[in-house]
Chain A
Amino acid sequence: MTGRVDIKNLSFGYTDKIEDLIFSDIHITLKPGEVFCLLGPNGSGKSTLLKCIARLLKPATGRVTIDGEDLTAMSPGHIAGKLGYVPQSLVSAFPFTVEEIVIMGRASQISMISSPSRQDKDKARDSMEKIGIAHLARRPCNRLSGGEWQMVLIARALTQSPRVLLLDEPTSHLDLGNQVKILEKVNSLSKEGITIIMASHFPDHAFLNADQVGILKGRSMKALGKPDKVLTEEVLFATYGIHIRVIEVLDGINRKICVPVLKRNESMKENS
Chain B
Amino acid sequence: MVFSSLGLGRVNIPFIQTLKILFSPIFLIESDWSATAYSVVMDVRLPRILAGLLVGAALSVSGAAFQGVFQNPLVSPHILGVASGAGFGAALAILFFDNIWMIHLISFLFGLASVGMTYALSRVYKMTPVLMLVLSGIVVGSLFSALTSLLKYMADPLNKMPAIVFWLLGSLNQVSFKNLLITLPVFIICMTVLLMVRWRINLLSMGEEDARSLGINTEILKAVIIVSATIATASAVCISGIIGWIGIMIPHIGRLIVGPDHKHLLPISMVIGASYLVAVDTIARTALTTEIPIGILTAVFGAPVFAFLLRKSQKAS
Kindly list chain B residues whose C-beta atoms are within 8 Å of the C-beta of A100: 202, 260-261
Interface size on B, residues (CB 8 A): 30
Q: Is the CB of B72 within 8 A of A107?
A: no
> What is the CB-to-nearest-CB distance from B115 to chain A, in angstroms, rounded to a whole number?
22
* Interface check B14, CB cutoff 8 A: no
Q: Which residue of B lies closest to A110 (CB)?
A: B199
Task: Let me know if A96 and B199 touch, CB within 8 A.
Answer: no
Majority SS at the chain A contact face: loop
Chain A-chain B contacts (Cβ-Cβ < 8 Å), number = 80
Task: Please tell me if the beta carbons of B215 and A108 are within 8 angstroms of each other in the complex.
Answer: yes
Q: With CB as the reference atom, state the residue of chain A lying closest to B72.
A: A93
Instruction: Name the distance in Å between A166's Cβ and chain B's nearest Cβ.
Output: 9
Interface mask (B56-76 → A, CB under 8 Å = 1, otherwise 0): 000000000000100111000
Chain A residue at smallest Cβ distance from B202: A104
Q: CB of B200 within 8 A of chain A?
A: yes
Interface contact B214-A108, CB-CB below 8 Å: yes
Say yes or no: B199 contacts A114, CB within 8 Å. Answer: yes
A182 proximal to B (CB < 8 A)? no
Contact of A93 with B259 at beta-carbon distance under 8 Å, contacts A80-B214, A87-B210 already known = no
- Is A95 in contact with B260, judged by CB distance below 8 angstroms? yes
Task: Judge whether A90 is part of the interface by a CB distance below 8 angstroms.
Answer: yes
Q: Would A87 and B209 count as touching, CB distance under 8 A?
A: yes
Contacts A93-B73, A107-B200 given; does A87 touch B261 at CB 8 Å: no
For the complex, give the distance between the alpha carbons of A113 and B71 in Å.
21
| B214→A93 contact, CB < 8 A | no
In the complex, what's the smallest C-beta–C-beta distance from A42 to chain B, in angstroms? 20
Whether A94 and B205, one on each chain, are in contact in the complex, defined by CB atoms closer than 8 angstroms, is yes
Q: Are A76 and B197 in contact (CB-based, < 8 A)?
A: no
A91-122 contact mask (Cβ, 8 Å, vs B): 1 or 0 = 01111110011001101101011111000000
Complex Cα gap A6–B209 (Å): 24
B216 interfacial contact with A, CB 8 Å:
yes
What string of 1s and 0s marks CB contacts (under 8 Å) between B257-268 and chain A?
001110100000
The verdict on A81 contacting chain B, using a C-beta distance below 8 Å, is yes
Residues A29-78 near B (CB distance < 8 A): 51, 54, 56, 75-78
Q: Is the pair A85, B317 in contact by a Cβ cutoff of 8 Å?
A: no
User: A96-B202, A96-B261, A113-B196 given as contacts; is B73 within 8 A of A56 (CB)?
Assistant: no
Within 8 Å CB of A107, what residues of B?
200, 203, 211, 214-216
Contact of B10 with A by CB under 8 A = no
> Quick one: which of B206-251 are within 8 Å of A by CB?
206-207, 209-217, 221
**B residues within 8 A CB of A93?**
71-73, 205-206
- Give B296 Cβ to nearest chain A Cβ, in Å: 31
Tell me if A115 and B263 are in contact (CB < 8 A).
yes
Q: Does A160 contact B (CB under 8 A)?
A: yes
For residue B198, which residues in chain A have a CB less than 8 angstroms away from its CB?
115
* Complex contact A113–B203 (CB within 8 A): no
Q: How far is the CA of A95 from the CA of B200 in the complex (A)?
A: 16
Is A155 on the interface with B (CB-CB < 8 A)?
no
> Which chain A residue lies CB-closest to B195?
A113
Measured CA separation A87–B259 after assembly (Å): 25
Chain B 128-170: CB-based contact to A (< 8 A → 1; otherwise 0): 0000000000000000000000000000000000000000000
Given A93-B73, A113-B196, A115-B199, answer yes or no on A81-B215 (Cβ-Cβ < 8 Å): yes
Give the distance in Å from the alpha carbon of A104 to the alpha carbon of B68 in the complex: 14
Q: List 10 A-B contacts (CB under 8 A).
A: A85-B213, A87-B213, A90-B210, A93-B71, A93-B205, A93-B206, A94-B255, A104-B203, A105-B214, A113-B197
Given contacts A108-B214, A108-B216, A113-B197, 7 further A-B contacts (CB under 8 A): A90-B210, A92-B205, A96-B261, A107-B216, A112-B197, A112-B221, A160-B214
